[in-house]
Homo-oligomer: A and B are copies of this chain.
């Protein structure tokens, strides 16, 4: 068997740096037309359209026609699965923080002498 088709789930959609930028921009500036993304990101129009196509296929964005423009909207709930997946490892780095905090407190106590 060969490589599995990947651009079909959210994790792969966000693997592309350019696509992450698109997502961030839509989050910060609200719904945007393709042209706006093109100038804001300095990418080619076809490149942006293709990235948007991937994001749309996965449901991370949706489109609305507005005259001759296509306005893209972030469907952020689709990113929740990523957040939740990563969150399950939170314990690891928070434990790490605990240990650091503990050490700091021990040090503070010893200096208080």
Binding site for B on A (CB under 8 A): 4, 6, 9, 11-12, 14-17, 20, 23-24, 27, 74, 76-77, 79-80, 82-83, 85-90, 92-93, 96
Q: B9, B15, B20, B77: which contacts A93 (Cβ < 8 A)?
A: B77
Interfacial chain B residues near A92, Cβ < 8 Å: 27, 74, 76-77
Asked if B90 contacts A83 (CB within 8 A), the reply is yes
Chain multiplicity (copies): 2
A12 to B15, CA, bound (A): 5
For residue A27, which residue of chain B has the nearest CB?
Answer: B89
Interfacial chain B residues near A20, Cβ < 8 Å: 11, 85
Interface contacts beyond A11-B20, A77-B96: sample of 4 additional A-B pairs, CB < 8 Å, sorted by A: A11-B17, A14-B85, A77-B93, A82-B85
